[in-house]
Every structure is written in C-alpha cells, then in structure tokens.
Amino acid sequence: MAFAAQFAGVYLNFSPEDAASRSSKLKAFLAEGMDPQLGWDGYGKLAAVAIQPYDIEASDDRNAVINVAYQSGPRRMMLSVPVYYSGDEAGRRFVISGRPAILPAPAPADLPQVAAPETDDAAAAELKPQLEGFFKDYASGDTGGLQRYVAAGKSLPSFAGAFTFSQLKEVVVPVGGATREIQAVVVWAVPSDPPPTPNTTDPAVVGGTLEQAYRLTVEKQGDKWFVADIRGGGRVAG
C-alpha cells in the first residue's frame, strides 16, 4: 500500500514543464517495457495532494489492486493501482502491473442522530471557571499554573505557547458522581508568523481562531473539580 501511494504521488501530478522529470520518477515503479508516461499524452496539468492508501483487493498472493485516496482541487477521488509482488525468493519487490484507474471517492457516510445525555447544569457552572484557568495554562505552558487545575497524582503536557486560549465556548457535563467524562468546546487563538503590524487587515497575516472539541475526565476533590485526563472530543451527541 505504501508503494502504491508513492506511485500515486508521481502519477497524479504532471504538467508539460515537468514531463521529463515525471517520466524519470515513474521508472522506479513501472515494469520493463511499459509506457514511460503511463498513458499521459504530455498536455494539460493535474495536481493531487493528501494521498493516502485506502484499501487493498488481493486476487492471489502475488497480485492486488490497491485503492489510494487523494484530493485534487475541491474533489476527493480514488486511484485504483494494480501491483505485482515478487515474493521472498525474488527479493520482496513490487511493480506496477497495469494501467491505473481514477474513480470517484465514496460519498460521506450518513450519520444517525444520537440522543443528548442528561446534563448537570450546576456542575457545569462549577467547572467553567476551573476549565477556563486550565485551558489558559494548558495553552501557555505555565507548568506551575497548570498543576493547580490537575488532579492530585496526575501530570499533563501542554501546548507550550503554540496557541493562546481565547474562549471556553461550551461545556457539557453529564449527571454522575465525583468522577465524570465531560465535553468542552474551546476556541484557540492561532498566532501569526511574523506577528501582524498595527492596523493589518490581510486575512493571511492576521492571527485567526480555531474551535476544537475535547473530552476531559474530571474529579471532584473537596469542593473543587480537577482535570485528570484530556483527549480528542470524538462525536458530540445532539
């Protein structure tokens, strides 16, 4: 699958100015006697990014068709790549065994609705100021400050200044006991590099914001809540 993805990176990117370079790069993948441009007539341009192996359909222990996902402009597409494997005795080598085929990518899956959990608004109100302080120090990398919000016996890494805390947009706290798994939506300020000059309005230069969703395990110790763990938010019910 890695071999097919590397091949796709060469095959799916071409322009007349780079024809000789493309042909030279394709030699590393093609069987002897195959068209050095593998069906491209030398005209037009194509550009592909986000190239990743998607799945594999093996017809036997030597032959397979590997589907590679990629992005070209606004379109998500697939490239079907036939590959031959020489096996252990011949040195565990691969080669493109036929012409590839571009296919439409599968449509997005239909996402069913999930019922929202019963929430504890009182606990959410208690947690909000704690979480605001936690995320501020989590972003800045203030180790001493961060530990004030972390559960006893726990230690969490931080962004060390890569982002700046902007806003705690949402907190969802399910009903439960002293230990709960909650969801938080945080707005990070994304710094610009270099920093913008005063009165700059260029969107490419001005620092932006980015909303992110997190799951946190929180524990109530005494009369305060503390963070024991933080991970990606996953799916939000609603």
Task: Name beta bridge partners: 224.
Answer: 221
Both tokens assigned to 77: 């597409």
* pLDDT bucket at 196, cuts 50 / 70 / 90: low
pLDDT digits (tens, 9 = 90+) for 34-67: 999 999 999 999 999 999 999 999 999 999 999 9
φ, ψ of residue 203 to 5 degrees: the values are -60, -25
pLDDT of residue 208: 83
pTM reported for the whole predicted model: 0.75
- Are the CB atoms for 157 and 194 separated by under 8 Å? no
pLDDT band at 233 (very low <50, low <70, confident <90, very high): confident
d(CA 143, CA 161): 12
**Paired tokens of 38:** 């593998």
* Helices first, then strands: H and E counts in the chain: 4, 9
> What are the beta bridge partners of residue 49?
71
Spatial distance between the Cα atoms of 54 and 69, rounded to a whole number of angstroms: 6
Domains of the chain: 2-104 (3.10.450.540), 121-232 (3.10.450.540)
Instruction: Give the containing element (helix H, strand E) for 121.
Output: helix 121-140
- Does the pLDDT at position 238 exceed 70? no
User: What rounded mean pLDDT belongs to the chain?
Assistant: 91
Residue 134 has which token pair? 């936690």
Residue 104: asked if its preceding bond is cis (omega within 30°), the reply is no
**pLDDT > 60? residue 103:** yes
Q: How do residues 218-231 score in pLDDT, each as one tens digit?
A: 999 988 999 999 99
Q: By 3-state DSSP, what share of the chain in percent is helix, strand and coil, each rounded to 5? A: 20, 35, 45
Between the alpha carbon of residue 106 and those of residues 76, 90, 203, the distances in Å are: 9, 36, 33
127 by DSSP, 3-state: which? helix
Q: pLDDT (tens digit, 9 = 90+) per residue, 14-40?
A: 999 999 999 999 999 999 999 999 999
pLDDT for 202 equals 60
Beta pairing class for 208-221 and 94-96: unpaired
